[in-house]
Structure 1
Amino acid sequence: MTDMISPAGTAELASVAETLAQAFQTDPALSWILPDPDHRARALRSLFRVLVPADVRVGVALRSPDDEAAALWRAPGQAHSGTLEFLRTVVPLYERLGFVTQVQWDVPGGPHFWGMMRPSS
């Protein structure tokens, strides 16, 4: 691995997501949550395809030249990106984990809601 770490450009975000998905493939907690290795690989790829662009909006993705390493960093004070950013991220995350939006509704003068369900397999 080379020593040069640099910010990922827009065209490199997919490879950052892939590097992170591979890095977490053998994580003990994720292996317990998603025990099937093939399903875990697909879910992690989907997960990081959502997380990487969301994090880049308030931080930076770093990568090594040959994609041996990648990291997501947020600026101080940006660990929590706010409700709107959370909602932009959480619905696609749940969908990538197998949940399906059944109904959506707005509360007058309040927030938008999604009713989601995960079909039994």
Structure 2
Amino acid sequence: MPNPPNAAIPCRAPSRADRGAAVATLAEAFQHEPAFSYILPDPLARRRALIRAFRIIFDEDVRAGAIMMTSQAEAVTAWRSPAQMHEGRWEAIRTRLPYLLAFGPAIGRAAKVAGLIKAHLPNEGCWYLHYAGCHSDHRGKGFGGAAIRAGLARADAERAKCWLETADAANLPIYRALGFEVSCTWQVPGGPQFWGMLRPSR
């Protein structure tokens, strides 16, 4: 029986054995997301690239913050800590070739989007909701909100602000309900609009 939206859905940090399931959920969740659709217009190429890219993101965000997931990876969130919100030099060097292999000829568009995201990150440290995804089979059941709240609880325990950006306008009311408000907007030239959202410390 599916969980009703307000049920207490347990969340946890993934083990190494959960990496494949977590990556698969994130890749499926972002298959039709506006920014990745702009970067990789071909759906088959996008599907392959997202699996490769989220393997990199999973590994880097485990180092730089935390991954939170519901028990069977129905929903997954990737967070970066305030100290690691901004990508460091060695991380950029370490991931340059893997991202090139993931995105191939689309690496220029990927770099353009990534550069604009970095340019709009707050200067002050925040818990950064880097990615949040819920598998389409489980949307509307409370899994996505539970995975996000698990990360917010950690930020609240540290009395830290939280930051995210989204290129999907449908996400705005969801994030507002979780305490985020739009802080800035920007447009990728020839691509999607982004909304940067800040959640005050609590």
TM over 0.5: yes
Contact 1:51 / 1:89 at 8 angstroms: preserved in 2? no
Deviations 1:40-90 (A, max 9, x none): 100100110111101111211111112110011122221124111221122
Give the alignment partner of residue 37 of structure 1, picking from 27, 43, 47: 43
Q: 1:65 to 1:91 in 2, by over 3 A?
A: same
From 80, 87, 91, give the equivalent of 1:74. 80
Partner of 2:98: 92
Q: CA separation in 1, counterparts of 2:89 and 2:57?
A: 15
Displacement of 1:27 in angstroms is: 0.3
Matched, 1:11 2:17: yes
Deviation (angstroms), 1:8? 0.8
CA distance in 1, matches of 2:95, 2:42: 24
Deviation of 1:38 (Å)? 1.1
- Provide Cα deviations, 1:2-55, integer angstroms capped at 9, x if missing partner: 511111111112211111111110102211221111111001001101111011
Report the equivalent of 1:62: 68
- What amino acid maps onto 1:42 in structure 2? R
Percent identity reads 38
Q: Which runs of 4+ in 1 moved over 3 A?
A: none
| 3-state SS of 1:39 partner | helix
**Structure 2 letter corresponding to 1:35:** P
Q: How much is the aligned-residue C-alpha RMSD, in angstroms?
A: 1.6
Aligned residues: 99
Distance in 2, Cα, partners of 1:81 & 1:74: 9
Structure 2 residue runs without a partner (length 5+): 4-8, 106-202
TM-score (norm 1): 0.74
The answer to whether residue 49 in structure 2 is matched with residue 22 in structure 1 is no
Where does structure 1 lack aligned partners over 5 or more consecutive residues?
100-121
Structure 2 length-normalised TM: 0.46
CA distance in 2, matches of 1:96, 1:33: 12
